[in-house]
Amino acid sequence: MSESPAHEVAKPSDFIREIINKDLEAGRHDKVVTRFPPEPNGFLHIGHAKSICLNFGLAKEYSKRLPGTGTDCHLRFDDTDPTKEDTLFEESIQADVRWLGFEWKQIYHASDYFERLYECAEHLIEAGKAYVCSLSDPEIREYRGTVKSAGKNSPYRERSVEENLDLFRRMRKGEFKDGLHVLRAKIDMANPNMKMRDPLLYRIRHARHHMTGDQWCIYPMYDFAHPISDAIEGITHSICTLEFENNRELYDWVVDELMEFAKFPTRPRQYEFARLNLNYTVMSKRRLLELVEGSHVRGWDDPRLPTLAGLRRRGYTPESIRDLCASVGVAKANSTVDMAQLEFCIRNDLNHKAPRVMAVLNPLKLVIENYPDDKVEELEASYWPHDVPKEGSRMVPFSKEIFIDRDDFMLDPPKKYFRLAPGTEVRLRYAYCVTCTDVVKDDAGNVTEIRCTYDPDTLGKNPEGRKVKGTIHWVSAAHAVDAEVRLYDRLLSQEAPPTGKDSEFLNAINPDALVVLTGCKLERSLADAKPQDRFQFERQGYFINDEKDSKPDAPVYNRIVTLKDSWARSQGK
């Protein structure tokens, strides 16, 4: 056995770690450098979180094993398309990566390398490996052939090196309109891998770039810029999602053709893993953009969206999202993760983080006829259930008039309804047992108030000789804090968005994904709550004080998740 540190480590948990360990053992690398390369053309979503956790996670793990080697993960903006990218997106991406719990030493941009990329392109031209093609876009597509049939050579393929250099330099100078020429690699128009059929390396785009301004009017394509950026930065393992599998051959071609000329510090390799897919939502940036721009949601951080900004505002914790990524693992086969798995992760995290309080979302007044008019009792209520090893409590005021939830009262209840109904008795959480003696109705027959009597002997103990099965939550009317509560549910009402035409998925939007309740009644202690404070509203779910819309005297709460999987139950699962 060798003395290599790789041997000291437990069995790798996935195939990427297995590859890295083998590379270290074989001495192919003495450090691990990964990168997370978002294009700044939208907000990050939970799928990106999987890539972030993997790439930054690897750097964190291996830098412990390989201290002082430069083991690292680069945050690199893959900013090669000036027409779609923006500084605003860069800022949101940085905020999201930090929020997830990862840091970087320095920010990289593909645009930092525009000059070197250009030199590499000229080198390929001089080596007879690239040419300026003047076919139009549709012609290029037609000449490419199909999966079943070979393509045919561009009539411009045999241009001389001199002519190619001249044209390419004039492209850079801005002499030509968008689309007039492109630079292509000269590989093989009959290659079974379509990506190898003389792929585009550069195109003309007269557009202002958010980093380089008007310095350039030609921009490198992803398949050219990405491998070179990796190689320049000394990336050892370039990890991307499975849809790039066919691009790997081109990645290798670019690096191999330029290795000697550009004197790259490492020979990076690309590895593909399965992307994270979630049901009941959409994940592609294109669709998210459509939802935002079409005002189907209230912005990129709308809590219905699977964007990290949306999940954060919804109340998800970074721990819960990292936990989901860890539990999903890194595999080579695509699959769809059930939203219930994410919901499990957040419930699991908040169970020991979110204090329990009482809130009435659909208030119904309850008057205790035999309770003294002006009396107020302060009752101690624990913030934590018995199975959470935490201490702490607050006092809740109890008085003659309280609110209970409409769902906890029925005029004509079915069997086994253990809440309140005419003539039945129920326990008020932390307080007394009450019996419903009468109801008040409006002209339309709706119950507007219920009347009860209380048993003064039932504070903290069971009533004599009777069994009271139900316990309900309540809030003292005179002490209640009024709030708006936003109930969020899944973005789509079907598991997978329709695969048809582009915008068809809009028809699958769940109309109940947002239900806004006003006039909700929160217990007094919540008067002190601050934006981003999380609570469990007893019997209802986990909620967060909204970071944007809450005002000190007009709080807004978002439902993070219900307590149990009420969705699965309502779907009869």
Q: Which of 6, 38, 233, 354 binds ligand ATP (CB under 6 A)?
A: 38
Question: Which residue, 230, 197, 236, is CA-closest to 26?
Answer: 236
Structure-block tokens of residue 567: 């969705």
CB of 130 vs ligand ATP, minimal distance in Å: 25
> Facing residues of 336 across strands?
277
Instruction: Compute CA 124 distance to the chain's CA centroid, rounded to the nearest angstrom.
Output: 40
CB of 479 vs ligand ATP, minimal distance in Å: 47
How far is Cα 497 from Cα 296, in angstroms, rounded to an integer?
15
How far is Cα 163 from Cα 364, in angstroms, rounded to an integer?
83
Phi-psi region of 508 (alpha: psi -120 to 50; beta: other; left: phi over 0): alpha
CB of 71 vs ligand ATP, minimal distance in Å: 19
Q: Residue with CB nearest ligand ATP?
A: 47
Which of these segments, 160-168, 278-286, 306-314, 547-555, binds ligand ATP (CB under 6 A)? 278-286
Which of these segments, 34-42, 381-389, 405-413, 534-542, binds ligand ATP (CB under 6 A)? 34-42
CB of 336 vs ligand ATP, minimal distance in Å: 11
Structure-block tokens of residue 434: 């009450």
Site for ligand ATP in 45-84 (CB under 6 A): 47-48, 50-51
CB of 285 vs ligand ATP, minimal distance in Å: 3
How far is Cα 324 from Cα 12, in angstroms, rounded to an integer?
19
> Facing residues of 535 across strands?
543
CB of 322 vs ligand ATP, minimal distance in Å: 14
Size of residue set near ligand ATP by CB under 6 A: 15
How far is Cα 319 from Cα 562, in angstroms, rounded to an integer?
18
> Facing residues of 538 across strands?
none
Site for ligand ATP in 490-529 (CB under 6 A): none
CB of 293 vs ligand ATP, minimal distance in Å: 15
Q: Which of 39, 122, 249, 407 binds ligand ATP (CB under 6 A)?
A: 39
How far is Cα 343 from Cα 345, in angstroms, rounded to an integer?
5
CB of 164 vs ligand ATP, minimal distance in Å: 30
275 binds ligand ATP, rule: CB under 6 A? yes
How far is Cα 304 from Cα 308, in angstroms, rounded to an integer?
11
Residue whose CB is less far from ligand ATP, 241 or 494: 241
CB of 283 vs ligand ATP, minimal distance in Å: 5
Among 275, 406, 451, 539, the one annotated catalytic: 275
Residue whose CB is less far from ligand ATP, 90 or 523: 90
Active site residue 275: yes
Contacts of residues 54-62 at CB distance under 8 Å and 24 or more positions apart, as own/partner, are: 54/16, 54/239, 54/273, 54/325, 54/330, 55/239, 56/97, 56/102, 56/104, 58/16, 58/17, 58/20, 58/32, 58/34, 58/237, 58/239, 59/32, 59/33, 59/34, 60/102, 62/20, 62/31, 62/32
> Facing residues of 395 across strands?
380
How far is Cα 465 from Cα 470, in angstroms, rounded to an integer?
16
227 binds ligand ATP, rule: CB under 6 A? no
Among 31, 39, 401, 449, the one annotated catalytic: 39
Token pair 């339309």 is at which residue? 444
Residue whose CB is less far from ligand ATP, 38 or 555: 38
Q: E strand or H helix at 557, and its extent?
A: strand 556-562
For 251, residues 6+ apart whose C-beta sits below 8 A from its C-beta are 223, 226, 227, 238, 270
Burial, 68: exposed, middle or buried (Cβ in 10 Å; 0-12, 13-18, 19+)? exposed
Residue whose CB is less far from ligand ATP, 334 or 448: 334
CB of 311 vs ligand ATP, minimal distance in Å: 14
Residue whose CB is less far from ligand ATP, 358 or 491: 491
For 404, residues 6+ apart whose C-beta sits below 8 A from its C-beta are 360, 363, 364, 366, 420, 428, 450, 472, 473, 474
Q: How far is CA 80 from CA 94, 210, 211, 518, in A?
A: 18, 10, 10, 46
How far is Cα 201 from Cα 132, in angstroms, rounded to an integer?
10
CB of 258 vs ligand ATP, minimal distance in Å: 22
Residue whose CB is less far from ligand ATP, 102 or 474: 102
Contact between 79 and 40 under an 8 Å Cβ cutoff? The reply is yes
Residue whose CB is less far from ligand ATP, 248 or 400: 248
Residue whose CB is less far from ligand ATP, 281 or 545: 281
Residue whose CB is less far from ligand ATP, 198 or 272: 272
Residue whose CB is less far from ligand ATP, 159 or 285: 285
Among 285, 304, 427, 534, the one annotated catalytic: 285
Site for ligand ATP in 233-272 (CB under 6 A): 240-241
How far is Cα 529 from Cα 523, in angstroms, rounded to an integer?
11
Residue whose CB is less far from ligand ATP, 39 or 252: 39
Site for ligand ATP in 286-345 (CB under 6 A): 286
Question: Which residue, 430, 426, 477, 471, is CA-closest to 452?
Answer: 426
Q: Which of 283, 360, 428, 560 binds ligand ATP (CB under 6 A)?
A: 283
Catalytic residues: 39, 275, 285
Return residues touching ligand ATP (CB under 6 A): 37-39, 47-48, 50-51, 240-241, 275-276, 283-286
